[in-house]
Amino acid sequence: MSRVFFVRHATPDFNVHDDLIRPLTEDGLKSTLKVSDFLQDKKITKAYCSPYKRSIDTILDFTNKNCLEISVINDLRERKISNSWIEDFHAFARNQWEDFHFKLLEGESLKEVQDRNVQALHSILEKHPQENIVIGTHGTALGTIINYYDKSFDYNSFLRIMDLMPFIVCMEFEGINLVSIEEVIL
């Protein structure tokens, strides 16, 4: 059995609109220590992450303390909304969760996000059977992964976790088949 600890990033600085380099706030950086404490006894052997700074920084304290290299996988990134900042995120998110193919110009649909994230996850699971793995991720990306295995995870479920930063979900797998899922709120 493989165990994957998905760590949704800590609180980012939303004043920085560039997704790739958006840093954590001071409180976000402090909460990464809670992530490290939680993961410390989980016998994690591999670390993967989205290429976004806030996700890397959320697991960095843990990986540094445990001499683990973070393998960055571009397909684990958050969904691209569009090339411009949107003001009404809630309306946009509702449209996406109600229609997994909805997207803005130059953006991604949740179906596209789900397909690439799940494909990356399956590749990781196939490379590391019977291992415990940490994956630094994002709220929407993680939501689409949960939805892939549990279709009851919907817009209301997303709203419930939207402000949980950091947020950890532990999934156990036999091969690429989900066996169990557990949420951890720090």
Count other Cβ atoms within 10 Å, centred on residue 76.
26
CB 110 within 8 A of CB 98: no
Is the pLDDT at 85 greater than 80, yes or no?
no
- pLDDT at 24 (0 to 100): 97
- pLDDT at 84 (0 to 100): 80
Close Cβ partners of 94 (under 8 Å, ≥ 6 residues apart)? 155
Is the pLDDT at 63 greater than 80, yes or no?
yes
Is the pLDDT at 89 greater than 90, yes or no?
no
- d(Cα 74, Cα 107) in Å, to the nearest integer? 16
- d(Cα 4, Cα 63) in Å, to the nearest integer? 15
Nearest Cα to Cα of residue 79 among 140, 126, 38? 140
CB 184 within 8 A of CB 38: yes
DSSP label at residue 83: S
CA 47 to mean position of chain CA atoms:
13
Domain span holding position 118 = 2-184
pTM above 0.85, yes or no: yes
- pLDDT at 17 (0 to 100): 84
Compute, in degrees rounded to 10, the torsion defined by CA atoms 32, 33, 37, 42: 30
* Whole-number average pLDDT of the chain: 96
pLDDT digits (tens, 9 = 90+) for 110-140: 999 999 999 999 999 999 999 999 999 999 9
Is the pLDDT at 161 greater than 90, yes or no?
yes
CB 31 within 8 A of CB 166: yes
CATH code for position 25: 3.40.50.1240
Instruction: Write out the H or E segment, with its range, that includes residue 50.
Output: none
Confidence class of residue 37 from pLDDT cuts 50, 70 and 90?
Answer: very high
Question: How many domains are there within the chain?
Answer: 1
pLDDT digits (tens, 9 = 90+) for 39-60: 999 999 999 999 999 999 999 9
